[in-house]
A and B are shown apart, each in its own frame.
Chain A
Amino acid sequence: MPLIIKLLAQRIALGLILLFLVSGLIFAGTIILPGDVAQSILGQSATPEALANLRAELGLNEPALQRYLSWLGGLVQGDLGTALTSGRDIGESISQRLSNTLFLAFWAAIVAVPLAIFLGLLAVRFRERWPDKAISGVTLASISIPEFLIGYVLMFFFGVKLGWFYPTATAFRPDAALFDKLESIALPVATLTLVVLAHMMRMTRAAILNVMQSAYIETAELKGLNGLQVIVRHALPNAIAPIVNVVMLNLAYLVVGVVVIEVVFVYPGMGQYLVDSVSKRDVPVVQACGIIFAAVYIGMNMIADIVSILSNPRLRHPK
């Protein structure tokens, strides 16, 4: 078997094992959470008998291992279970939320990734000169400010004072026309972009600068290529692996880490759903959100690993 296929198979198998281990962790974590779903459904004035009946009905008295196995069995078949509080199928309610979150994350990525890489290239081209310092300064400042604060600041100036955009995402309707949807998420996308930009841009800069020390960069310079040609043609292809790694980490963050932004902008995504369910002690929903977030995270990192392997010419074209 060619080495490259073996390496790729190893990465994918590792990802699956990791996901399995994480499922155990999520289940254990939600079990040791304080609070009781029966209590939160019935309220403070419930009688002990009513609580006991509801617990039995919800299956909360079964042993933990048995509950874990039946949950895992459901997961493998694509069944995320039923929400305890509403009694509705989690898969159904989550799918709309998930697609909303992915929509937001997708457009944030479309803006942030090319911008970060472009700024990184620009910073290398003008390294140690004022454009480099300006880019570094602005992106560092934006990463240092907490994201909810950036969100509120943008909301205040561009939503309230200037009135250019909707201050919140409450106008968002999943079935609206694309342009209207984009208009309603402009500020959350801008906030997310500012949050992930610095990390990706600085990593791009560092990875390319590292490659710029190589002898083949000197060869390219001695061919009379200009600065940007040298960077884009000769440095970038050899810096792909570290750049993809940090891009994927940030994409995963865009999906997983939007909880705060969704709450700030009242956006109907997974993050809001998760926060609501935690406060209602609706454990199956929390578990389902957890496993989906974990799958996204592991999946993105797996893709990063696969791209790193594929970007190595020695593995792609063996002797």
Chain B
Amino acid sequence: MSDPQLKVRDLKIGATVYPPGEKPHDIEIVHGVSFDLEKGKVLGLIGESGAGKSTIGLAAMAYGRGGVKITGGEVWINGRDVLQSGTGDIRKLRGAEVTYVSQSAAASFNPAKKILDQVVEAAVEQKKFSRKEAEARARDLFDKLGLPNPETIGDRYPHQVSGGQLQRCMTALALCPEPDLVVFDEPTTALDVTTQIDVLMAIKAAIRETGVAALYITHDLAVVAQVSDDIMVLRHGNMVEYGSVDQIINAPQEDYTQALVSVRSIEHAEKESAGDPVLSVRNITARYKGTQFDVLHNVNVDLYPGQTLAVVGESGSGKSTLARVITGLLPPREGEIEFAGRTLSPDLAGRSREDLRELQMIYQMADVAMNPRQTVGTIIGRPLEFYFNMSGKEKRKRIIELLDEIELGEDFMDRYPAELSGGQKQRVCIARALAAKPKMIICDEVTSALDPLVADGILKLLLNLQKIEDVAFLFITHDLATVRAISDTIAVMYQGKVQRYGSKTQVLSPPFDDYTDLLLSSVPEMRLGWLEEVISNRKMESAGN
């Protein structure tokens, strides 16, 4: 057995935190993690946000984001401990021996420079290759990664290529200097599912072909199962379980790993549609001001009281635009919205307070949907004052009721949003929407920014609240697992049209149209060999190419 490419021993990482109302102090965020990575192997680091997986990945390059400091342990690359190296040696290591692929290529490429210049920069700067050789290598990598026009795509600027293409360019950037180790930090998380598998396949093939060692960081166990040889499960900066992919997926030992493997186990039998629909979207066609094309074409959907309609599609399919039309933020060019038996005014200004109260909304980013200077009590209390003129004891009693419903309790009343976790923030947003006693709530990607286990908790809460409050949900999401978990009716959107619409069983049962087939088959499954199987069975190219 050859010497491992990367050897990490008892790695400890700390950071300075600035909690509200307290003095800044140092905490430890990674508590002594050890692993080995051999040449040509891929190690998956998996865990929820805050598990320390990105921090560990960056420590392999002796880099700490913001106030993050490596406080102890050893990181051996090619036979030397990088934590003992001086800044000059570390600089020689970065971009030459170890390279990095970040989550968002769109943000990680410099918008002012051509792609090719950025891809070859490290290789040339570190004197690995001459400018000419590096450019030839980059074009070769563009070709291997399946990018269109590999000869000329490098002459474009980052904003001129799609997100999936840019993520592959980032992979080319990392592989161009012929590194010994590549750190992939959630490289496909920001992509649509159908684009994700293409990028995943390209990364996997490139790793195999170049024989590079790789650290693959993700929160998605199904994704990491497709590309890794070994997996390490992390939680709160500690190692939970470390083993081969086969062992982790098929025979997890620890409770936490078992929970991760069996996540999304919510069963929800669809309800029969009864009575008149609470919302009827009739022949809606819409476009944005100053543009020449329609974003929505003749959209028709119904939502029945106390039920959930899932609108599913990829980015650019028009699902969020539909929400803007329903809420009155974007008056449609044609068609109308019927709500609770009346026709709604197309623009927000023409709607009554009762219209506003009965139609509430919950957003993807709970962080930015709340005023950071207001307490939870004030945030939830605002709709109570605005719609019901409540005040004093009565208001307080109702706020406490709502806090109990979202399983947080009275203690949370005087807290500020910054003191809450991601899941708790989203719960507060749900309580604020419920406070208006709406007939319908639009949920726009409400679980997308959350870790799987936390997202599961939110979905369970929403289903439970639906039973108690008899409220209808319009659930906008790109995540098919969420759709399966929560919906009664499904509308699949593609390029501004409703591609497939019906009850959950109808939509999710064959025969499928080509797009729905592509979408459904692209959802990563937690078994080995799934990726290759899907790619070979595909009927249609994904839009990200």
Contacts and interface: CB of A to CB of B under 8 A. Distances in A.
A317 B114 CA distance: 11
Given A221-B63, A319-B159, A216 B125 contact: no
Given A224-B93, A238-B111, A313-B112, A219 B100 contact: yes
Given A215-B108, A237-B110, A222 B100 contact: yes
Contact of A237 (B94, B113, B126): B113
A222 B63 CA distance: 8
B77 interface: no
Given A313-B159, A317-B157, A317-B160, A222 B99 contact: yes
Contacts of A215: 102, 104, 107-108
A314 B158 CA distance: 9
A313 B93 CA distance: 31
A237 B112 contact: yes
Given A214-B107, A218-B65, A224 B112 contact: no
A145 to B, nearest CB: 37
Interface in B449-466: none
B172 interface: no
Contacts of B94: 221-224
Nearest to A214: B107
Nearest to B103: A215
Contact of A234 (B61, B100, B110): B110
A225 B99 CA distance: 13
A220 interface: yes
Contacts of A229: 125
Most buried by B among A215, A238, A311: A215
B182 to A, nearest CB: 11
Contacts of B108: 215-216, 218-219
Nearest to A316: B157
Nearest to B117: A233
B110 to A, nearest CB: 4
A216 B159 contact: no
A96 interface: no
Dominant secondary structure of chain A at its interface with chain B = helix
Contacts of A220: 110, 121
Most buried by A among B104, B108, B112: B112
Interface residues on A, range: 20 to 34
Interface string B37-79: 0000000000000000000000001010100000000000000
A226 interface: yes
Nearest to A222: B100
B122 interface: yes
Given A237-B110, A238-B111, A314-B111, A224 B122 contact: yes
A313 B114 CA distance: 10
B95 interface: yes
B95 A224 contact: yes
B109 interface: yes
A225 B173 CA distance: 14
A233 to B, nearest CB: 8
B464 to A, nearest CB: 38
A215 to B, nearest CB: 4
B342 interface: no
Contact of A238 (B63, B102, B112): B112
A198 to B, nearest CB: 27
B92 interface: yes
Contacts of B63: 221-222
Nearest to A215: B107
Contacts of A219: 100, 102, 108-110, 118, 173
Contacts of B90: 224
Interface in A253-312: 311
Contact of B160 (A223, A226, A319): A319
17 contacts: A215-B107, A216-B109, A216-B111, A219-B102, A219-B109, A219-B118, A219-B173, A222-B63, A222-B100, A223-B121, A224-B95, A229-B125, A233-B113, A234-B113, A237-B113, A313-B111, A313-B159
Interface of A: 214-216, 218-226, 229, 233-234, 237-238, 311, 313-314, 317, 319
Given A219-B109, A237-B113, A317-B160, 9 more contacts: A215-B108, A216-B109, A218-B65, A222-B63, A223-B99, A223-B121, A224-B93, A224-B95, A225-B122
